[in-house]
Amino acid sequence: MAAPKSPKSPKLNLISLALLELLDEEDMHPYEMQQRLRDRGRDRLVKLTAGSLYHSVERLEKLGLITAVETNRQGRLPERTVYAITADGRAAFTDRLREMVATPDREYPAFPLALAFLHSLERDEAIERLTWRSTMLEAEIAAEEAVAGRLTEQGTEPLYFLDLTWQIAAHRSQLEWIQKTIQQLSTNSLTWPAPASARRAAAPGEDGDDR
């Protein structure tokens, strides 16, 4: 059963949600939003470009979820518009957050689909590619743990980087599964089909041979 959601709340994408969270802290202009998101590592979680950010700001303003409160200029720099979150914006942020926390999202990542087709590779190549992925995951986990360590040393409460600790746990789980699968493939615990070329050669009816 889906979590309750206000029918009046617009569907917010991830970057819009991140922008509303920033503006709930204080008013700021888009460039400052972009820098703040990068400083906090939010670009690990949302696809952040200047174009996508400014497009999201425009959309949020049209929806009445944020409003321009000030325009200023520093030297020869272009004018910068400072935005504030509205009451509707806070309500929409809270509604979307509640929904995302409570309801598992049906995502379509590429890796599970690749696993569904893994048998199309030769066994040795499948092992090689999975080993390569496990090495990359190990490096990613090490980098994430280093960031978590720095945040802890800086006195940041763990509550404020739950996204990072969740990502570390997810990557560790994936790494463990991949390493187990590599072992099963290496010891022939998983039955592997004949190469596709051999299956095609053995199949009747190719090129009209079954007439």
What is the DSSP secondary structure assignment for residue 28, as one 8-state letter? Answer: B
* Residue-range definition of the domain harbouring residue 44: 14-102
Per-residue pLDDT at 130 exceeds 60: yes
Structural domain ending residue among the three candidates 102, 118, 142 = 102
HSE, CB side, 13 Å, CA atoms: give it for residue 118: 21
Are residue 76 and residue 134 in the same domain, yes or no?
no
Are residue 97 and residue 117 in the same domain, yes or no?
no
Per-residue pLDDT at 22 exceeds 90: yes
The residue assigned the tokens 């802290």 is 25
pLDDT tens readout for residues 162-205: 999 999 999 999 999 999 999 999 999 999 987 666 666 666 66
Are residue 93 and residue 114 in the same domain, yes or no?
no
Are residue 57 and residue 98 in the same domain, yes or no?
yes
Those residues with Cβ within 8 angstroms of residue 194's Cβ, 6 or more apart along the chain or in another chain: 202
Structural domain ending residue among the three candidates 78, 102, 126 = 102
pLDDT, position 205: 61
- Total tally of structural domains belonging to the chain: 2
Structural domain ending residue among the three candidates 52, 70, 102 = 102
**pTM here?**
0.78
